[in-house]
Structure 1
Amino acid sequence: MRLVRFGEAGAEVPGVLDGDGVLRDASSLVADWGGASLAPERLAALAGRVTDLPAVAGWDAEHAETGGGLRLGPPVARPGKVVCIGVNYADHAAESGMQTPPEPVVFMKDPWTVIGHRDTVLVPRGSTKTDYEVELAVVIGATARYLDSPDDALACVAGYATSHDVSERFLQLEGTGTWDKGKSCETFNPLGPWLLTADEVPDPQDLELRLSVNGEERQHGSTAQMVFGVAALVHYLSQVMVLHPGDVINSGTPAGVALGFPDPKPYLRSGDVVECSISGLGTQRTVMGQA
């Protein structure tokens, strides 16, 4: 299933896109997409009832991926936490001048950075090094705590979404302190357009990622290139923190970010159009604005 949340920011309604791209209102069955509503067994029970849900007026099924005439918010209600994995593709590590890590590099991103896939991303005031990163977002559906092995990990995943992990490189790498502050500026995590449930992703290590800026392709990779795959990441994180339903893991980005270009590096500016896509997870389109 493709789970969405539609409506104005702060007043989104849970919905499902059926096989024909028709938007159906799921509010009679769930209050929102987040927490317990993302439990794999609950999603499985819902799957057989999708066509019984009422269609949403004003929705253009032929243009579902671009919004269908309605605003699509982030497909997960405010996550409890957004956990990010750094340098998780060998080619991105190389372009960043970093070694491939022996274990996952973990940092956190403010959950309030999560916005809808066509909402405006704001370049921070004074920033000249705002960068882009297309990433596979892993959304947790069942509590993961001290999992015995990676073999147990995928059963804890509700689904997957396209994520744009926007970064401010000066704050992240050139100042003092942690990476978090270069990752947590307002609007720095468009998510969506939808959450594809895990049962429709047979292998999360076989997905193609692309990102373009103003129509020019900058990133093109595959989740097969991850240093640590999804199962390994969920298992690892469960040893150092409790992952709760609705939490989001941004699993890393392939090569092609602005940081890796020779000078002058093509960092993002107000007015730039960024498009991110992942196989089966849809394309998000963001127009950059100014804070």
Structure 2
Amino acid sequence: MTKYKTEKRKARVGERILITEDGFSLGYYKSGDVFTVSSTTDKGVTGENDCFILHHEYEVIVGEHTPAPNLDEMDYDELIALVEDAMKTLRTRAYKNGYDQGRFDAKIEAPKSDQQKRDEIVAQAKEDVRRLLESDYGHDHEFIVNTAKRTVVDLRKIKGCTNIVRRGIAKCAPNDCFNAHIGKAIALRRALGWSVPAEYMNVPQPTEIRVGDVVEITEKTRRKLKTTVHRIENGIVCSNEPYMDFYLAHARRIGLLVTDPKTIDDTRAGKGE
């Protein structure tokens, strides 16, 4: 049974009222009836059935709620109907919630891994270099990449001459992975007198080893081995350097290696880069 929250005041047209007294109803209404007010006077109001109700016979409905049914008082058919209605409502609600959640999830991008962030920054650096070189009319640029010293130098020269107008230098931090593409972008910007984007100076370190990477492995004697990854088989890096694969397999077997391969250069430069 629906319960109502009411206020004791004069009703306005369009409001719903709950009958609380029926002493003057003449059988047209009774206590508990609900009407919508169609007109008002100083003495009372008129309901939608044209019955006149005195002001003291009603209260204005301002809220309502339906209490949960008492299952112990319901017969079998009523219980079945209640369960069916509940299941229908649950299915509708679940579908709507799932749809809304799907739309919400679609708007949220999965957080990028450090490797994805690094890949994007390397791609940005390549495009940066291409765009800046094209826009620097009247000048040639010579890049000197020194993988041993982990540096990149850009020599900016007057076009067709050997005169160096300005130079820019980029040096990789000792514990960072070297990448010539990022180094070129930094050196070029410095040679042009441009600022260096913060992302070039704070690139995440690689978390994946890929073919073409230069990796470093440390032995128990603290000797460091460096090799270029030629292929990866079952998660194990393989080199095309003579005897390197055989040695690494033997060293793993006898526990000589104390670190996993660590990428120290992921430039993987192609032709013309």
Give the TM-score of the pair, scaled to structure 1: 0.21
Q: Which has the larger radius of gyration?
A: 2
Instruction: Give the TM-score normalised by structure 2.
Output: 0.22
Of Structure 1 and Structure 2, the greater helix share is in 2
Q: Which has the higher contact order (CA 8 A, sep 6+)?
A: 1
